Amino acid sequence: MERDIRTVDDVLRLMDTLFAPDADRWTADGGATWWDGFYADRSREVPFFVAKPDENLASYVERGLVAPGRALDLGCGPGRNAVHLAALGFEVDAVDLSPAALAWAQDRAREASVDIRFLCGDAFALDLTGPYDLIYDSGCFHHLPPHRRISYLRLLDRALAPGGHFGLSCFAVGGMGSEESDVDLYRQGRLQGGLAYTAESLRGIFAELTEVELRRMRDEPQDSPLFGEPFLWTALFRRP
């Protein structure tokens, strides 16, 4: 018999176990193994395997909404956005659970002759040396179970600089991802491959930040130098 719950982190770790082991895509244990398998074959026709930055991220810099500074790429995968930011003069830290993803990202950084500090592990547990002028997440947030939004908001609170920007792309309701309620996700013990969000839910979750832009990602043609899929939301928020 165990009676060892005494902190919020204890509760969060307990709630992690309410999901089936094969649903885990967010912890350094189960999640890293799943993503290593996902990234093992670099030739797979997966949309975001392309070596192109998100169209919204590129536009933030082009329009002067975000200026070069210190940047953190959360769940960087094969590094397409991290490489783009580094090429524009950002000082980039890139984090991912998967050693296979980071190996691919490191190859791309060498090919592009850019310097990026790659970190392997759970972003919620790593000692990330902020503050960052930009924290960007393309496809990490929607793989978190509901209770880990607490961990996510904590990370933003401690790592995002005052006046800094937070950029996000995630599954949109009606486009891709599970539309089950948070309660039903726990009843089922599964995340159905990722969670879909409404614009209103994103505004509510990130209510402590100031909205700069929230829209659907533009559909980029195959020959575009940018990545764009309309089943995703793109959002840019600013910390006061």
Q: Note the pLDDT tens digit of each residue in 14-35.
A: 999 999 999 999 998 889 999 9
Give the predicted TM-score (pTM) of the model: 0.96
Looking up tokens 């799943």 gives 34
Q: If you average pLDDT over residues 65-73, what whole number do you get?
A: 98
Q: If you average pLDDT over residues 72-98, what whole number do you get?
A: 98
Q: Note the pLDDT tens digit of each residue in 161-214.
A: 999 999 999 999 999 999 999 999 999 999 999 999 999 999 999 999 999 999
Residue 3: pLDDT band (50, 70, 90) is confident
Q: What are phi and psi of 5, to 5 degrees?
A: -90, 115
CA–CA dist 130, 137 (Å, integer): 16
CA–CA dist 207, 138 (Å, integer): 19
Residues of the chain with pLDDT > 70: what percent? 100
Q: If you average pLDDT over residues 59-87, what whole number do you get?
A: 98
Q: What residues contact 175, with CB distance under 8 A and at least 6 apart?
A: 196, 216, 230, 231, 232
pLDDT surpassing 80 at residue 215: yes
Q: Note the pLDDT tens digit of each residue in 111-148.
A: 999 999 999 999 999 989 889 999 999 999 999 999 99
CA–CA dist 5, 23 (Å, integer): 24
Percent helix, strand, coil in the chain (nearest 5)? Answer: 35, 25, 40
